[in-house]
Structure 1
Amino acid sequence: MFRSALLLSLTLLLPGCGALSLLQGEPNRDVFELRGPDVVAGQCGGRRVGELVVELPKARGTLDSERIMIRPSALETQYLPDAVWGDPVPVMVQRLLVETLGRYDSFGHVGREPLGLSGDYAMISEISSFNAELVGEDTRVRLALDAQLVRERDASIVARGRFETTAEAPGTRTGDLVPAFDAATRQLIGEIGNWTLSRLGTNPASCR
């Protein structure tokens, strides 16, 4: 019993995620976070929306994970063995949308949940692609998301949009893929942000 307690104590002294991985029987994996577009001030002027709620995007089971997906073919799904995202993909996309849209003065509040019983508008979305894929001899990252803006007071859909971005990667190693995911994500979140502003009455070109 003393030997088991000593082994556990030594394990807990190991560096953070290494100790956790050892306790859970999981391999060590590098953790990556993706970024949204650069929004310095986000001052747009004009019409102001009181509250926008960005609901957690839906995603099928293979995408609702923190694993980094790569598709060798249309019918095959694999994951990088040595790296993960910091959050499951839907949570990460929701966070980036909230952070990006929340920087614009066109909104009184942008959040994952309403401050009261309901917000003024809600963004409902579904992620259909968030993966790398092999196309012939090339490696490409593909992200795709369908979104709707809903007016809460009468549950009416005020806008629908589909967004898809791609970025080329030099290979299938983690160091090749993560920068391509980052570039595609920044473009995707930027396009959704501009679409949201325009559909709710703000000209994105007026923002500075």
Structure 2
Amino acid sequence: MTPASAIRFALFWLGLSLLAGCSALSSIESASQPLNTFELSPLPAGAVAVSRGRSQLEVAAPTATGALTSDRIVIKPNALQVQVLPEARWVDETTEHVQLLLVRSLTNSGMFGLVSAEGAGPRPDFLLLTDLQAFQVETGADQQAVVIRTNMTLLRDDDGAVVSARSFENSVPVADTTAGQVVFAFDQAMTQQMTDMLRWLDRLPGV
């Protein structure tokens, strides 16, 4: 290799090293940028007329796919693709946030004497299981909407018998995918779903 070739070779590798360094620095800076944080509202006391009771209820942590176990706000352009809303996040991981909303809404309703998160209280009379199947913005050619889809199962704690099970789906259209529009629609959809949940539980005998 001639001296000139050696110099060109060295400059080539130096350029690649600098480019990789810049790329890594850009990734670090992007990861360290603060995201706007949002939380949804539980149902306040008296929002839904239900019977008052003294039973104790435990709300298990919802099950979900990996896309819904982070704190990012999920957007699905189609059934197979997952994106996230840029520069925005939930205050907790999605499943944790939903669990807390359920606990607080059920507590505020007065339907149960005590409502606790899984493992946080005495042995309950009932256990509420939630499978969170969708908690996302779904975009398509016709419209885009926030969609919340869950399967809920109420178990008797002493023998594990299923008291009742029901699927819920609530959606609210959004004009665009800006954070303000999306979070407001999520709050409306979650309010609808928690209202439907309370009415379902209130109709069950012995609860």
Q: How is 1:92-107 mapped onto 2 (pairs within 5 angstroms)?
A: 92-107=97-112
Alignment match, 1:11: none
- Alignment of 1:71 onto 2:76: yes
Could you say which residue in structure 1 is the equivalent of 2:5?
none
- Cα 1:23–1:119 change in 2 (3 A) is farther
Find out whether 1:57 has 2:71 as its counterpart.
no
Q: How does 1:125-144 map to 2 (within 5 A)?
A: 125-144=130-149
Count of aligned residue pairs for this structure pair? 179
2:48 and 2:192 mapped to 1: Cα distance? 17
1:1-208 → structure 2 map (5 Å cutoff): 25-40=31-46, 44-45=50-51, 48-112=53-117, 113=119, 115-116=121-122, 118-201=123-206
Deviations along 1:22-74, whole A, 9 cap, x unmatched?
Answer: 8994222100001133433877556x242000011111111111100001122
Measure, in 2, the Cα distance between the counterparts of 1:136 and 1:23: 35
Q: 3-state DSSP class of the match of 1:58?
A: coil
**Sequence identity percentage:** 29
Partner of 2:66, secondary structure, is: coil
Instruction: Give 1:200 deviation, angstroms.
Output: 4.8
Structure with bigger helix share is 2
Displacement of 1:89: 0.9
Q: Deviations over 1:77-100 (max 9, x none)?
A: 100111000011111111111111
- Partners of 2:48 and 2:135 in 1: how far apart? 27
**CA RMSD after TM alignment:** 2.2
Please state how far the C-alpha of 1:172 moved relative to its aligned partner: 1.5
Q: 2:150, 2:167 within 8 Å by CA — same for their partners in 1?
A: yes
1:188/1:153 Cα in 2 relative to 1: closer, same or farther (>3 Å)?
Answer: same
Q: Which runs of 4+ in 1 moved over 4 A?
A: 22-25, 41-46
Paired residues of 1:97 and 1:193 also in contact (CA < 8 A): no
Separation in 2 of the partners of 1:132 and 1:43? 30
For 1:71 and 1:43, locate their aligned partners in 2 and report how far apart those are by CA, in whole Å. Answer: 35
CA distance in 2, matches of 1:64, 1:128: 11
Give ranges in structure 1 of 5+ residues lacking alignment. 1-21, 203-208
**Displacement of 1:125 after TM fit?**
1.1
* Counterpart AA for 1:176: Q
CA distance in 1, matches of 2:48, 2:176: 36
TM-score (norm 2): 0.79
Query: Comparing both structures, which one devotes a greater share of its residues to strand?
Result: 1
Unaligned runs of 5+ residues in structure 2 are: 1-27
CA contact (8 A) 1:49 1:200 kept: no
> In the alignment, residue 139 of structure 2 is paired with which amino acid?
L
Structure with max Cα Rg: 2
Aligned residues of 1:63 and 1:89 also touching (Cα < 8 A): yes
- TM-score relative to the length of structure 1: 0.78
Q: Structure 1 186/45 Cα, relative in aligned 2: closer, same or farther at 3 Å?
A: closer
